[in-house]
Chains A and B, each alone.
Chain A
């Protein structure tokens, strides 16, 4: 039974984008901060820190989750993927490329989280229609695009164009 004392740093180890990583943090350290500040993985963005904006969405064991609503100590031994897992050695993956093609981003702050949710949607529901895509995107706040380009990019990748 793992017991971690308050106010002291403890080692946390998990698989991040295919590599085993570890770092030290107090129990109260949010996973989003652990990723950025402890591991230097800056692809994951931090917005509201209470689960509403969707910017910090990553995947734990293949499911999209808010990294600001997890403590780093909770993911000991788990498999995590962040936006850094998406690109291939040849460059952007198809979803990223579609976002670029359809102007699915402007400032880019919300983009990593959106990509991670859409990545789960594609894996779980490859036949998702526009209504379902919009439903999933409703968990992400984007203040630049009006969502239209993001929806078009997703529809393109889901073969609905």
Chain B
């Protein structure tokens, strides 16, 4: 449970951090709440850690005309207690309660969770659901293009995520986020997030995302289409089960996770519908 030896660099500018990366054996150290346990288990053995926590200006939440901009080093606990977040994205505030425990949320970062890319983690799913734009040291990547597989992103070796842009939701958008985990704070066996925007009694816009049920967070586009075509929530939930391809492991079979996706889709959509104005 002790990590292998590594060099440690704590740059104070993003340029210096980028310059230090690029070698295959270098890793960015953000909050370290996923990287350090993996190193303690010796699942990872980077030769260089670039600690970006001393770079100023990467950990605030700001509002602009397009929505919110969240620095990549913002901690889960900061998000959970942010009035701006509660006002504009109450789904994010509510979902933070599912992210591990207080001490992990105090230290773990949004950017770190997104770049780690655990398919059962909340942030990758939230980013996809809310159509987040992920700003890096090189470009802006839509959340839908960010993941290539489990724990694999489109980021280059010497590219650092710096900011998450959350575009404003249409006024009156309803939301729901439902998760099932074995214990409080565990990774999700499965979770489903949904946003619904109504126009009169028709669905103008709906997004449904499942996590823990595929190798990446997954938009359930068939289910979304059915909802817009006025299918019942029960029918949409059945369609959602057919869209995911979960794995079996010690904690739950693929069939059980698929079943959960149906149940959680129904609950998340019901909540979103009730909240939609």
Contact = CB atoms under 8 A, between A and B. Distances in A.
B184 A135 contact: yes
A49 B103 contact: no
A73 B107 CA distance: 15
Given A1-B12, A139-B100, A66 B5 contact: no
B266 to A, nearest CB: 25
Interface in B20-46: 29, 32-33, 36-37, 40-41
B40 A54 contact: no
A117 B7 contact: no
Contact of B40 (A4, A68, A74, A124): A68
A28 B2 contact: yes
Contact of B37 (A64, A69, A138): A69
A1 B11 contact: yes
A2 B236 CA distance: 54
Contacts of A66: 33, 103-104, 107
B115 to A, nearest CB: 17
Contact of A70 (B4, B6, B8, B36): B36
Interface residues of A, number: 38
Contacts of B101: 54, 136, 138-139
A136 B104 CA distance: 11
Contacts of B11: 1
A124 to B, nearest CB: 8
A65 B106 contact: yes
Given A69-B32, A70-B32, A73-B8, A64 B1 contact: no
A26 B4 CA distance: 11
Interface in A98-134: 117, 120-121, 124
B12 to A, nearest CB: 6
Interface of A: 1-7, 26-28, 30, 33, 48-51, 54, 57, 60, 63-66, 68-71, 73-74, 76, 117, 120-121, 124, 135-136, 138-139
B106 A1 contact: no
Given A69-B37, A121-B102, A135-B97, A28 B107 contact: no
Given A51-B104, A64-B106, A71 B8 contact: yes
Interface residues of B, number: 38
A142 to B, nearest CB: 13
Interface stretch (B47-55, B62-70, B157-165): B47-55
B40 A139 contact: no
B203 interface: no
Which of A30, A48, A73, A74 has the most B CB atoms < 10 Å from its CB? A74
Nearest to B78: A63
A28 B6 contact: yes
Given A63-B106, A65-B107, A26 B36 contact: no
Contacts, number: 110
A3 B106 contact: no
A42 B179 CA distance: 38
Contacts of A28: 2-6
B103 A7 contact: no
Nearest to B32: A69
16 contacts: A2-B9, A3-B7, A3-B8, A4-B7, A6-B6, A66-B103, A69-B33, A71-B49, A74-B51, A74-B53, A120-B102, A135-B97, A136-B102, A138-B183, A139-B100, A139-B104
Nearest to A50: B37
Nearest to B183: A138
Nearest to B39: A28
A63 B77 CA distance: 10
Contacts of A1: 9-12, 16
B16 A138 contact: no
Contacts of B1: 48-50
A138 B185 contact: yes
Contacts of A2: 8-10, 54
A51 B6 contact: no
Contacts of A120: 102, 106
Given A5-B7, A27-B8, 5 more contacts: A1-B11, A30-B3, A50-B40, A69-B37, A135-B97
